[in-house]
């Protein structure tokens, strides 16, 4: 299956911007959605301003797309009401628009933070139970549950990418395990959008091929993409890279600390 006419929500974000630049040369038309106004950078770009909390507006903005890469939402820890509104309700609106339009594929932006409390010494697989490291992780677990529901109940083809630490280059010790390079982010997005559609749901970790990674790479039968970058090549420039990681410590690192979430709760 080719790229068809894909839409990208959250197209102004860090990952959305990189994927946008890579894919626009491969499609006749690229539909770009964000809550902030975008300007077309090529003749085949169709830019649309939309608030994902507005179901009618989302359906209208996705008109003409035959698949969607849903990157929009709150990208980090925040008060739960904000996360539910932007991440969970917004995803529901995207899935519902996809169902009504009969889209071939929905790709959801999940997060490694749905399993942040697994120990660093454990290589985690997508089929293992979620262990969110915070409220953000909870919202992304709900995103996955919605994807599963729409696949089981309505026959959508839904793939969730549990995204690692997206950075131009790794800058801290944890990134040696969790880094997702721009090149691999594009590779995962392209593979997910073009994989042959089949009714069902699957989650995979979108992470570079890091020597120290915490998570299993995708099963080729689920997503046929092998990442090419390895954070280890940057280790010499990262302070503390030589320190031993406690195998019993949470994979989430500082995100697992109570303080990370307490500041978003009522005092």
12 class by beta-carbon count within 10 Å (0-12 exposed, 13-18 middle, 19+ buried)? buried
Catalytic residues: 136
Q: How far is CA 218 from the centre of its chain?
A: 14
CA distances from 215 to 34, 42, 69, 219 (A): 30, 37, 22, 12
Give strand pairing partners of 106.
68, 158
For residues 159, 208, 244 and 169, what is the CA-based torsion angle, rounded to 10 degrees? -120
**Measuring CA to CA, which residue among 5, 19, 2, 3 is closest to residue 161?**
19
**Beta carbons within 8 Å of 69's beta carbon, 6+ residues apart:** 6, 7, 8, 9, 19, 107, 109, 189, 192, 193
């Amino acid at each position: 299956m080719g790229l068809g006419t894909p839409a990208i929500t959250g197209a102004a974000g860090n990952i959305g911007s990189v994927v946008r630049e890579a894919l626009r040369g491969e499609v006749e038309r690229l539909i770009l959605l964000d809550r902030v106004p975008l300007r077309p950078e090529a003749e085949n770009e169709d830019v649309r301003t939309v608030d994902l909390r507005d179901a009618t507006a989302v359906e209208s903005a996705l008109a003409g797309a035959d698949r969607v890469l849903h990157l929009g939402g709150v990208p980090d820890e925040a008060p739960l009401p904000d996360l539910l509104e932007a991440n969970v309700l917004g995803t529901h609106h995207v899935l519902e628009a996809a169902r009504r339009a009969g889209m071939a594929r929905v790709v959801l932006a999940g997060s490694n933070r749905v399993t942040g409390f697994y120990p660093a010494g454990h290589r985690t697989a997508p089929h293992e139970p979620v262990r969110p490291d915070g409220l953000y992780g909870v919202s992304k677990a709900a995103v996955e549950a919605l994807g599963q529901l729409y696949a089981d109940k309505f026959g959508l083809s839904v793939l969730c990418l549990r995204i690692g630490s997206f950075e131009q280059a790794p800058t801290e010790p944890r990134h040696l395990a969790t880094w997702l390079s721009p090149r691999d982010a594009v590779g995962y997005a392209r593979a997910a959008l073009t994989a042959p559609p089949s009714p069902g749901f699957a989650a995979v970790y979108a992470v570079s091929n890091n020597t120290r990674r915490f998570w299993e790479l995708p099963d080729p039968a689920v997503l046929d993409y092998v990442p090419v970058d390895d954070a280890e090549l940057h280790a010499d420039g990262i302070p503390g890279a030589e320190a031993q990681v406690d195998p019993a410590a949470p994979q989430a690192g500082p995100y697992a600390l109570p303080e990370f979430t307490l500041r978003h709760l009522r005092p």
